[in-house]
A and B are shown apart, each in its own frame.
Chain A
Amino acid sequence: GQSLEQPSEVTAVEGAIVQINCTYQTSGFYGLSWYQQHDGGAPTFLSYNALDGLEETGRFSSFLSRSDSYGYLLLQELQMKDSASYFCAVRDRGYQKVTFGTGTKLQVIP
């Protein structure tokens, strides 16, 4: 099975940089994805790492290290609208199901 752990809450200042970590235990997966979910809304896809290293998409970057069973999402130039919950996720290589992490609630303060 899959187990993905994230810090439950993170607070950061507007304009700053914040890193949200994801540590996992898995029997095999294709890659690590990240989703954003605002209160009352549905999750939306942010990024995907198939290979180790850094993927950059605008203000968001995501990193994966399979040897360390670890990944993170980096948000730069934080804006108030970035206040949301962020989830990492993996698709199981065997059963193809997609498992989400425990989620991190990010609060951006002025």
Chain B
Amino acid sequence: EADIYQTPRYLVIGTGKKITLECSQTMGHDKMYWYQQDPGMELHLIHYSYGVNSTEKGDLSSESTVSRIRTEHFPLTLESARPSHTSQYLCASSERGKGRNDEKLFFGSGTQLSVL
């Protein structure tokens, strides 16, 4: 099983603050993803990356940014948090290849963000 870590697990902050959600994986996976999910709802892709120095925006319009300077690290930054950003943020990774292994996403435990 892949090991993928997200910190912090919970975060409560005030409006206007800059925050960075951390995501790291130890399996050398090329592909990494950020999803936003409200309770009981579907996962919305906000950013993804094929590898180092490659990032793309997902389907959900987001005011966040990401970077991929190292294979194992894919942080997400909100320059100015707002109450509408309150949600769970899930990071995932997968191998680059063909077939089943390429399709299997491994998820971190998530960061529950509350913006007051």
> A residues engaging B (CB < 8 A)?
1, 30-31, 33, 35, 41-45, 48, 50, 85, 87, 89, 91, 95-103, 105
Contacts and interface: CB of A to CB of B under 8 A. Distances in A.
Contacts of B102: 30, 91
Main SS class of interface, A: strand
Nearest to A89: B105
Interface of B: 31, 33, 35, 40-43, 45, 48, 50, 56, 58-59, 90, 92, 94, 99-100, 102-110
B59 A50 contact: no
Nearest to A30: B103
24 contacts: A30-B102, A30-B103, A33-B103, A33-B105, A35-B105, A41-B109, A42-B110, A43-B90, A45-B106, A48-B103, A50-B100, A85-B40, A87-B42, A91-B102, A91-B103, A96-B31, A96-B48, A96-B50, A97-B58, A98-B92, A100-B42, A100-B43, A102-B42, A103-B43
A98 B58 CA distance: 9
Given A35-B105, A91-B103, 5 more contacts: A31-B103, A42-B109, A87-B43, A97-B45, A98-B94
Given A50-B100, A98-B33, A42 B107 contact: yes
B7 to A, nearest CB: 14
Nearest to A96: B50
Contacts of A42: 90, 107-110
B100 to A, nearest CB: 5
